[in-house]
Amino acid sequence: MAPIIRVQNLVKTYGKFTAVDDISFAVEAGEIFAFLGPNGAGKTTTIKILTTLLKPTKGHVEIDGLDPTRHQNEVRERFGIVFQDPSLDDELTAYENMDIHGALYRVPRRTRAARIEMLLSLFELWERRNDRAKQFSGGMRRRLEIARGMLHTPKILFLDEPTLGLDPQTRNQLWTHVRKLNTDEQVTVFLTTHYMEEADRVASRIAVIDHGRIVAQGTSAELKEQTKTETLEQAFLSLTGSSIREEEADSKDRMRNMVRLWRG
């Protein structure tokens, strides 16, 4: 069977800066694929290209056999995404957030209602369906975003650092839900995270990206063997080095800080 995500010699440059430097990988349908790398390695840029939000400079990308630059809408129907930054409407209730998503993806009314109930129950939010998103904790918001991303029965679910800032209990529960969706609906999961033990536990295969290049890919066991290390964290550090990546704070980071102030 053809892979559901295929990336060949992908390059993305911004002026002189190369964010993604000639990467190639493939994700098989139904797998949970972890895309790991230090800050600024090119993870989010890659996700944006896969999800039609950015155009590649060079190279070829296929989502379920379709080119995201030419078949934008067809590709968009095929994936759900949870962004790094929040994307809920805080003034709307959990149910309304789901319902708008259903309308945007043209999910027929009857299936929409049934699926919203199923997903909100799965993510333990059905009782709180009439509460506004702004009353939700960080973990609940994340759950609602994942539930929403699954509403139109996508083939691929992109999760960009979904567990950032959550406590271990919440993280654990979140991945349990994601794994359940993966088995129940055969949805392919493409995730990024900075928590190595999560990737180790959840992902069937892992690619490590650094400075825009893929430095290793394989199962967790293969990566450990290749680097002769005991844990995935050690393997990761041995692949990417231990120097800290100093990124300059851009406008987005400044705004993120403002959000933290506001949301407390």
Give the strands of the sheet with 17-27, arranged side by side.
17-27, 5-14, 58-63
Size of the site for other proteins (CB under 8 A): 36
Q: Is 247 in the site for other proteins (CB under 8 A)?
A: no
Q: Residues 147, 122: contact at Cβ < 8 Å?
A: yes
> Could you say which of 11, 29, 66, 92 contacts other proteins (CB under 8 A)?
92
Q: Please, are residues 139 and 159 in contact by the beta-carbon 8 Å criterion?
A: no
- Considering the complex, what minimum distance in angstroms separates the CB of residue 52 from other proteins? 7
Report, in Å, the least distance between residue 86 CB and other proteins: 6
Q: Which residue, among 185, 41, 48, has the nearest Cα to 119 in the 3D structure?
A: 185
Name the minimum Å distance from CB 253 to other proteins: 10
Q: What is the DSSP letter of 82?
A: E
Q: Is 261 exposed, middle or buried (0-12, 13-18, 19+ CB in 10 A)?
A: exposed
Stretch that binds other proteins, among 33-41, 51-59, 116-124, 174-182 (CB under 8 A): 51-59
Q: Helix, strand, or coil here: 220?
A: helix
CB of 106 to other proteins, least distance (A): 8
Under rule CB under 8 A, residue 205 binds other proteins: no
Tell me how far CA of residue 17 lies from CA of 12, 36, 53, 139, 211, in angstroms. 9, 20, 19, 35, 11
* Per CB under 8 A, 130 contacts other proteins: no
Binding mask 133-172 for other proteins (x = CB under 8 A): ---------------x------------------------
Residue 51 binds to other proteins (criterion: CB under 8 A): yes
CB atoms within 10 A of CB 77: 17
Chain residues that interact with other proteins, rule: CB under 8 A: 48, 51-54, 72-74, 76-77, 81, 83, 85-92, 96, 99-101, 103-106, 132, 148, 251-252, 254-256, 259
